[in-house]
Structure 1
Amino acid sequence: MNKFSSGNIKRTTLSQQVLDNVVNLLMSGQLKPGDRLPSEFELMEQFAVSRPVLRESLSALETLEIVTRKPRDGTIINDKISSSPFKAMLALSINDVPAIIEARMVLELGLVTMACEKITDDELERLKSTIDAIEQNRDKDYGYLDQEFHRIIAEAAENPVVEGMIVALLIAHKKTDSLITYRDPDITIEHHLAIYSALQQRDHMAAYNAMYKHLSFVRTKILNKQ
């Protein structure tokens, strides 16, 4: 007898459907933080999927920090998942690229305007250092530097209520960054410098506009490759 109630999974987008089922079990309360998932064999039987499909789903859940997989203890629902519902919601839409990009835009446009009021000189210096590092690594994959740039701005907003959103934002950034097949270092540097300059001058409108221009460019670049 299966412990959890789940619908029969069709053969399309199987790994996403398994992921959706686990998240829905969390949201319905059938799964709770600290719970251990059934064995791989039981889950394969319950969801009617192969081992590779199941492992792909579990890897996605681990990337989203919803579960922790341990060789001897199995797969455990993370204790802090209840305080980070945005990660669960992100999991439900992780393959909806337009929605992920729009979520990034909504979050980052708000965060950059708040950062205008709160960003410190040290954070501005760190922000500028990421731009300098991109300049020095323009012929390499500088995605991690781009993510650091956006993380500094998000954390500069210093709002504990949106802390969970920032984690989801960084995961969304990693997802969209993985879809970029070529880099435009000159454009990236130009956009980041404009955002940095606006933050330095505490100009809310300029920061908003510069971030919107940057994210719109990213959106067009990614969606045109879909």
Structure 2
Amino acid sequence: MNYENQKLIDMLAAEYVLGTLRGPARDRFARLMLNSTRAREATWVWEQHLNNLASSIESVPPDDHVWEKIINRIDPNVIPINKPKKTNRSLLQAWSLIASAACIVLALIIWQPQQELATGSQQIALFKNETEQPLWFIDVKDKTLSVKASNVLSPRSDKDYELWMILKGQEAPISLGLLPKSGNIELIKNSQFNADDISILAVSLEPLGGSPNGSPTEVLYTTNLVIL
């Protein structure tokens, strides 16, 4: 595929932002954004287009039976939560909240089954493999990144996994540290870590000890930082 074709990049960026680009194609485009300023800029432009469009649309909360179906698709064992109240947010923003709720419910089911959800703003990230199984859950604290590895992860003893972030408008990925192969660790939060500035998070496969040259060796997974 010719990623130098601007028309193709724009089309893929539009589908990525809309959420219609799925599966391996979405993963390929997410990896492309790690190295392509053109792809990141196109994605940013489409995000602005949709945000401007969304600002003129009034949100419509789903009916009770629709909301119950949404919860059941997340997990049939989850106790239904209250239907969201009508707000002035856009329809697209409302569905974004639903997706965020699904993500945090999944994280709680997997890693925090007996803990209550913290109040206030929360930032999380969930890395999944090709079959949508969770691998690492990241909870952003004031000064650290709390990272926990899933039991699904089958780590390689001869390699390490490294966490990276790419900031909007910047070329080079920034290392955030090595990920655990089991259990959980606390990574010191990079001084440049700011949710509003982060374009994408990524995990790379590296030699033991981490990247030898300050850049990802082999990008395995990408994800977005979710703000709740």
Between structures 1 and 2, the one with greater helix share = 1
- The answer to whether TM tops 0.5 is no
Structure exhibiting the larger radius of gyration computed from Cα positions: 1
TM-score calculated relative to the size of structure 1: 0.25
